[in-house]
A and B are shown apart, each in its own frame.
Chain A
């Protein structure tokens, strides 16, 4: 039982730093993998869709990076969060820690790595010869919106998996399906009929990717209304999930042992 919320926050950030340190110490290339993974995925997509399948999207490599990097952030965080409470069963059975601690730890760990990935991406774009303008400052709003969306989804999936352990497979299948449904490697304007496009953009991940491309590739400001809706929806889900966790917190320790 913690003395105060401040103490809990202190434990959270200490654990966050130690987890990042621990994760990096498990591989030879350590922190470099955080950048290498999205870079390699982008190269694979570029080779397959642009070179082999002769895609028609101009500046396809940049197009792929703008879709792949935000998508991988969402997908990795949600998949990792789905197992977070189950993975922490040892700790949950020894200390009274509020359960949102675990999915949020995953979210912040991945967000930290993502900050490095985004910084590297912008440096790469500069080297690549892209024009960086003040419009790019609006990226901060898109990134924060995505962080809210990831937090809401992480809290939701982490709450369900201890009740239905098979749910984690559904999460990984759904995120895979989401990749195909979010326009990571195609332009929805080229593929979808105009009357279907607004339904496609109701997928928040697809909408965020569209906004990243608006800012980075077209130097235009994002769709503030769409971002506002995603923020509001995410905040509402975060509120619902935190009240749910408050009511069911002591249920989880028994649930994952029985």
Chain B
């Protein structure tokens, strides 16, 4: 791993949230602590861990949405996109207008989005509905549109947070295949997922977060093996705790 091939590097990063308890009293919650790692150009890095372990916070730090309380983040790429379905959607506007603004907010230029608009409409299967306001869409239609926009946009570093399962079964299958193709290309991707089989199938390396700390980072097979062992031991210890009680 060399700095020349890294698209991003984090050194001793910590993020704390402040929560207000009363007028003058605040509590702090540490979401990330002592996080150091690099993302290599062209790789797919999986991020796993229990709910509340800091996965989404980490993605927001990588996307430069959240600043850090200590440590340092270095970007060696021009464009990072956090893939969000329905980003910037306005219910009063048509599917076409929403696709344009959402694509632009995901990092594409207006002309690039316009050039891909036919593909987006085709993939989302919204042909006759594309000029209707999206407030008239069902939730399935909305997620199809959002997913199609996100899928067709290009970015040097793509950050994905659990957005592979959308729409009905038929659409979900084609969405999963299309996203898997995108991830398996030369695209650099950070994928947050609870599906270990998905991480195993798509990711070259995996990062495991536990309680806001980096538990392990390395080849996916090795990290998943350790993670599964940890989950089994954790389950066993919680069962034995329950038995003692």
Which residues of A are at the interface with B, using a C-beta cutoff of 8 A?
A: 1-3, 7, 10-11, 14-15, 18-19, 21-22, 25-26, 91-97, 249-251, 253-254, 257-258
**CB within 8 Å of A: which B70-115 residues:** 75, 78-82, 84, 87-88, 90, 92-93, 97, 100-101, 104-107, 109-110
| A95-B84, A95-B105 known; A254-B67 Cβ under 8 A | yes
Asked whether, in the complex, the Cβ of B17 is within 8 Å of the Cβ of A258, the reply is yes
B64 touches A258 (CB 8 A): no
Question: With an 8 A cutoff between CB atoms, is B242 at the interface?
Answer: no
> What is the chain B residue whose CB lies nearest that of A24?
B92
* A97 contacts across to B, CB distance below 8 A: 105
16 contacts between A and B (CB under 8 A): A1-B78, A3-B78, A7-B104, A15-B88, A18-B90, A21-B97, A22-B92, A92-B65, A93-B60, A94-B87, A95-B84, A96-B64, A250-B65, A253-B60, A254-B15, A257-B17
Q: Is B196 an interface residue (CB 8 A)?
A: no
A26 to B18, CA, bound (A): 37
Q: State A2–B108 Cα separation when bound (angstroms).
A: 8
Interface size class of B (residues with CB under 8 A): 20 to 34
Interface-central residue, A1, A14, A25, by most chain B CB under 10 Å: A1
Q: How far is the CB of A113 from chain B (nearest CB, A)?
A: 17
CA distance A249 to B63 in the complex (A): 13
Residues of B within 8 A of A253 (CB): 60, 65-66
Residue of A nearest to B75 (CB): A1
A97 to B17, CA, bound (A): 21
Given A2-B107, A3-B78, A91 contacting B87 (CB threshold 8 A) = yes
Contact partner of B105 among A3, A11, A19, A257, CB < 8 A?
A11
How far is A3 from B153 in the complex, measured between Cα atoms in Å? 13
Please measure, in the bound complex, the distance between the C-alpha atom of A22 and the C-alpha atom of B79, giving whole angstroms: 29
Contact of B66 among A2, A25, A91, A250 (CB under 8 A): A250
Cα(A11)–Cα(B80), bound, Å: 16
What is the CB-to-nearest-CB distance from B197 to chain A, in angstroms, rounded to a whole number?
27
Asked if B4 is an interface residue, CB under 8 A from chain A, the answer is: no
Across-interface contacts of A22 in B (CB, < 8 A) = 90, 92-93
- The answer to whether A10 touches B109, judged by C-beta atoms less than 8 angstroms apart, is yes
Give chain B nearest CB distance to A17 CB in angstroms.
Answer: 9
Residues in B whose Cβ lies below 8 Å from that of A257: 17
Q: Is the CB of A3 within 8 A of B79?
A: yes
- Chain A residues near B79: list those with CB within 8 A: 1-3
Given known contacts A7-B109, A94-B84, A254-B17, is B65 in contact with A15 (CB within 8 Å)? no
Interchain CB contact under 8 A, B64 and A18:
no
Distance in angstroms from A49 CB to nearest chain B CB is 37
- In the complex, whether B133 has a CB less than 8 A from a CB of chain A is yes
The minimal Cβ–Cβ distance linking B152 to chain A, given in whole angstroms, is 17
What is the CA–CA distance of A94 and B78 in the complex, to the nearest angstrom?
A: 18
Is B138 an interface position by the 8 A CB rule? no
What separation, in Å, do the CA atoms of A120 and B105 have in the docked complex? 35
Complex Cα distance, B102 from A15, in Å, reads 10
Name B111's closest neighbour in chain A (CB-CB). A10
| In the complex, chain A residues whose CB is within 8 Å of the CB of B88 | 15, 91, 94-95
* 8 closest A-B pairs by CB: A250-B67, A22-B92, A94-B84, A96-B64, A1-B80, A258-B17, A25-B92, A11-B104
Residues on B with C-beta less than 8 A from A94 are 65, 82, 84, 87-88, 105
Chain B residues positioned under 8 Å from A2 (CB to CB): 79, 107
- Chain A residues contacting B51 (CB-CB under 8 Å) are none
Is B2 in the interface zone, CB < 8 Å from A? Answer: no
CB closest residue in chain B, given A94 = B84
**CB-CB < 8 A to B64: which residues of A?**
1, 96, 250
CB distance from B58 to the nearest CB of A (A): 13
B240 within 8 A of A: no
**A14 with B65: in contact, given A22-B90, A91-B105, A93-B60 (CB under 8 Å)?**
no
| C-alpha spacing A22/B98, complex, angstroms | 11
